[in-house]
Structure formats: C-alpha cells, structure tokens
A and B are shown apart, each in its own frame.
Chain A
Amino acid sequence: DAMVIQNPRYQVTQFGKPVTLSCSQTLNHNVMYWYQQKSSQAPKLLFHYYDKDFNNEADTPDNFQSRRPNTSFCFLDIRSPGLGDAAMYLCATSRDRFGTGNTDTQYFGPGTRLTVL
C-alpha cells in the first residue's frame, strides 16, 4: 500500500545533541510537510517543501532545519534540541492541487515521538 513512513517511531536524544528524523513516501506526492505536536495540543506546521522549494513558517525557530534530497525522502534536523522540543513530529504529504480543485488533501505518517533528556 502507498503510504507515509517515519523512522524511527521513538527517538531519545540528549539536550543539545543534534538529531535527525526521517520521512519517506511511496505516494509520489509533490508536497511534504513537517509538524510538531506537543502533548494534548493540535499539530503545528513547521515548514513544507513544494517539490524542491522550501517554505518556512514565520514562527519556526532556526533550530529546526529540513532537507529533501529527492521526491521520496524528507528529513527534519534539530540542531540543538532543548527540553521544550520534546514532542511528536509528524510528516505529511499532499499531491498538488492541480486537478483537485482549490484544495490539496494531506496524508500523515505515524509520527516520531522525540524525548530530550
């Protein structure tokens, strides 16, 4: 089945130690997103890629970076994790709006739960 895959599902890192989370998709979607979801809160968009074009949200801290080496893969890099960065990180994809009206449905992966010690 076509899907969005996130590895690892659980990640533990130390305060200040860089960490990378990965996302891959078999949907051949053009757009990939990264969200942060803290406990009992709704997901918050960090940034997205439209093809190779990176689009950052205005309030995303510089500590968060992303790479998309090809259509299938996207990485979230946290350069110096703080205790406040402990959260579930969600990857999502969408095809592109062309042919779907003025909207574009997002499909989420299972998430990576990050613990910062």
Chain B
Amino acid sequence: DAKTTQPPSMDCAEGRAANLPCNHSTISGNEYVYWYRQIHSQGPQYIIHGLKNNETNEMASLIITEDRKSSTLILPHATLRDTAVYYCIVSRYTGTASKLTFGTGTRLQVTL
C-alpha cells in the first residue's frame, strides 16, 4: 500500500491560508488522495479527495502535482476551529470497500 509523508506540525495565523503538504511518491494509478482532519477526541472528519485533477469544495482546495507524487491541502482562511491533526491518506478500492492508508498526520496549530 502506498505510504504518505507529512510534516509533524505546522503553525498558521488566523485568517491566513494554511498550506499542508504531503508526499505520496508510491501512489498507484487507481489510488485516490484523501484528506481528513481529527480534532482532539473526535472521529476523523472528511475534507476532500481527488485522483489527478485539482479539487475545491466549501472547506478546502486540493492541489495534486501532475506526476501525482505529492499534493497540498489549502485552507484558504484558517480559523481557530481549524486547529487539528490533518491526515493525508491514499485510498485503494478493494472491490468491497475503500482501504485507507493513513499518514502520520500534521498537527496544525492556528493562532491569533
């Protein structure tokens, strides 16, 4: 299964864009990149996913490099509520379910 590498921690000022990088150099052609976040003592929350095109939704944007070996999650205007651990995940569909390979996560601290 493809593995992901993320920086262990990042800081961001409130109101600024938070750019969270992820390397997934061993990703296969049919595997998707997913991002989830986990606020302390809660379940992971889905943010966004993509295959090879850039994606945007109401929460974030996902930029995937052309070779698909890395991606960046962008929170355009970070708030204190965005403080969480962000997981970059490679998802492989097995025929009965999606199998998520979690990275070690980036702890994002948003400050005033």
Q: Which residues of A contact B (CB under 8 A)?
A: 4, 6, 31, 33, 42-43, 45, 48, 50, 53, 55, 88, 90, 92, 94, 97, 101-111, 113
Instruction: Establish whether residues B45 and A97, one from each chain, have CB atoms under 8 Å apart when the complex forms.
Output: no
Which secondary structure dominates where chain B touches chain A?
Answer: strand
Q: Note all chain B residues with C-beta closer than 8 A to A4.
A: 43
Nearest CB in chain B to that of A105: its residue? B46
**Residue of A88, A97, A103, A107 contacting most chain B CB atoms (<10 Å):** A103
B112 at the interface (CB under 8 A from A): no
Sample 24 A-B pairs with CB under 8 A, ordered by A number: A4-B43, A31-B96, A33-B97, A42-B102, A43-B44, A43-B100, A53-B96, A55-B97, A88-B41, A90-B44, A94-B98, A101-B51, A102-B30, A103-B49, A103-B98, A104-B91, A104-B97, A105-B49, A106-B100, A107-B46, A108-B36, A108-B43, A108-B45, A111-B41
Q: Which residues of B contact A (CB under 8 A)?
A: 30, 32, 34, 36, 41-46, 49, 51, 87, 91, 93, 96-100, 102-105
